[in-house]
C-alpha cells in the first residue's frame, strides 16, 4: 500500500511522512511549497510540487504511485490571517479538498485521514473539550476545517469514502533536528526568534483565572501527532471501525507562563517576559480530552513539556 500525504513538505506533514516510513509504509508527497520546504521530504520519497487545486496532477500522482489512501494535511493554516484573506482560505481549504476528493473517487481511492483543527470549536466555554463539544468556528480557517469534515462525511454517504478527521490544538516540538516549525504565527517560533534576535518574548495578559494568571492551552508533540495519523491510516487499511472525528489533546494543558519558564531553562537564556494586555476573545483555558483517540489510535502524550521545548530549540539551532 502507498499513502499520499498532501502538504508532506510542511512541518506537520513531514513528520507524518517519517512516521509512515518508520512503519514500513510507502508514501508519496504533493506540496506547493507555499509554506513547506522540499528539503523536509526524505530522500527516496516521490515528491511532486503542485497545488491540490490541480485535479489533473492529483490524478496522475495517485495512479502512477498506486496510492491506496490519503492523509490530507495541505491547506492555508493561518487562522488570524484568514480573517483578512477569506476567499483564499476557502479556495485552498474547501475547493482544494473537493478537488482532491474528486480525484480520489475517479481513481477508486476510498480512504482518507483529514488534518482538521480545534479551531472548529472556536472559544468553548467548557474546561475540557470533547468531540461532542458544540462547534462554533470564529475564523474563516476554522469554518473551512469544519466544512472539510462535512465534505468527508457527505462523500462517505455518497461514495463509500472511509475516513476520519483529527482535531488538535497547538503542535510543537520536533521529531528530527532537520525538521522545525517555520510558521511566523506560532508561539514557539516567535519566542525562539525573539531570543535569537536579542528581544524579550511577550505574554498577552497575566490576569486570567489560572494558576499563574496566563492562558492555559493544549500543547502536543508533533511526533505523537504523526504517530496517530499513521495509526488511523492503518485502521482504515485494516477495515476496522473508526470514529469520524478524534481530538488529540493532553487533557490538562500548560500555561504560557510555564512555557516561558521552560524555554528559559532549556535555552539557558534568562529573561522575564514582557506582559501586554489580553487579546480580545482569548479564553483563560482551552484543553481537549484525548480519551477517544487513546482508545483507537494509540494516542498518548509521550513527551514532557521540557522535551517539547528542547526538541524544538535543537531544531531551531540546527537551522541557524
CB burial class (10 A; 0-12, 13-18, 19+) of residue 204? middle
Measuring CA to CA, how many Å separate 179 from each of 45, 245, 315?
Answer: 16, 27, 6
What is the spatial distance between Cα 134 and Cα 224, in angstroms, rounded to a whole number?
A: 26
Query: HSE (CB half, 13 Å, CA atoms) of 221?
Result: 20
Q: Are strands 69-72 and 47-49 parallel, antiparallel or unpaired?
A: unpaired
* Active-site position among 11, 90, 121, 141: 141
Q: 119 Cβ partners below 8 Å, 6+ apart? A: 79, 137, 138, 139, 141, 142, 145
What is the spatial distance between Cα 275 and Cα 260, in angstroms, rounded to a whole number?
A: 12
What is the spatial distance between Cα 173 and Cα 290, in angstroms, rounded to a whole number?
A: 19
Verify whether residue 141 is a known catalytic residue. Answer: yes
For residue 299, give the nearest of 188, 116, 168 by alpha carbon. Answer: 168
CB burial class (10 A; 0-12, 13-18, 19+) of residue 182? middle
Positions marked catalytic = 141
Amino acid at each position: 500500500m502507498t499513502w499520499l500525504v498532501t502538504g508532506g513538505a510542511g512541518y506537520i506533514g513531514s513528520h507524518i511522512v517519517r512516521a509512515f516510513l518508520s512503519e514500513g509504509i510507502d508514501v508519496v508527497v504533493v506540496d506547493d511549497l507555499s509554506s513547506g520546504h522540499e528539503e523536509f521530504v526524505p530522500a527516496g520519497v516521490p515528491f511532486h510540487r503542485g497545488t491540490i487545486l490541480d485535479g489533473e496532477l492529483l490524478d496522475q500522482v495517485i495512479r502512477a504511485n498506486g496510492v491506496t489512501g490519503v492523509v490530507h494535511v495541505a491547506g492555508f493554516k493561518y487562522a488570524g490571517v484568514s480573517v483578512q484573506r477569506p476567499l483564499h482560505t476557502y479556495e485552498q481549504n474547501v475547493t482544494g479538498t473537493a478537488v482532491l476528493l474528486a480525484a480520489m473517487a475517479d481513481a477508486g481511492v476510498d480512504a482518507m485521514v483529514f488534518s482538521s483543527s480545534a479551531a472548529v470549536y472556536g472559544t468553548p466555554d467548557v474546561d475540557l473539550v470533547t468531540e461532542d463539544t458544540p462547534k462554533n468556528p470564529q475564523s474563516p480557517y476554522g469554518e473551512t476545517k469544519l466544512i472539510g469534515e462535512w465534505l468527508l462525511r457527505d462523500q462517505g454517504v455518497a461514495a463509500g469514502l472511509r475516513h476520519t478527521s483529527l482535531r488538535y490544538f497547538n503542535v510543537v516540538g520536533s521529531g528530527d533536528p532537520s525538521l522545525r516549525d517555520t510558521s511566523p504565527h506560532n508561539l514557539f517560533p516567535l519566542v525562539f526568534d525573539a531570543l535569537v534576535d536579542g528581544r524579550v518574548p511577550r505574554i498577552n495578559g497575566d490576569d486570567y483565572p489560572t494558576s499563574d494568571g496566563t492562558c492555559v492551552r493544549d500543547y502536543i508533540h508533533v511526533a505523537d501527532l504523526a504517530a496517530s495519523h499513521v495509526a488511523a491510516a492503518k485502521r482504515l487499511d485494516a477495515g476496522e471501525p473508526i470514529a469520524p472525528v478524534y481530538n488529540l489533546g493532553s487533557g490538562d494543558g500548560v500555561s504560557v507562563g510555564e512555557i516561558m519558564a521552560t524555554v528559559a531553562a532549556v535555552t539557558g537564556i534568562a529573561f522575564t517576559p514582557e506582559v501586554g494586555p489580553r487579546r480580545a476573545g482569548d479564553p483563560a483555558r482551552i484543553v481537549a480530552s484525548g480519551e477517544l483517540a487513546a482508545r483507537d489510535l494509540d494516542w498518548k502524550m509521550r513527551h514532557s513539556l521540557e522535551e517539547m521545548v528542547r526538541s524544538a530549540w535543537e531544531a531551531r539551532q540546527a537551522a541557524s
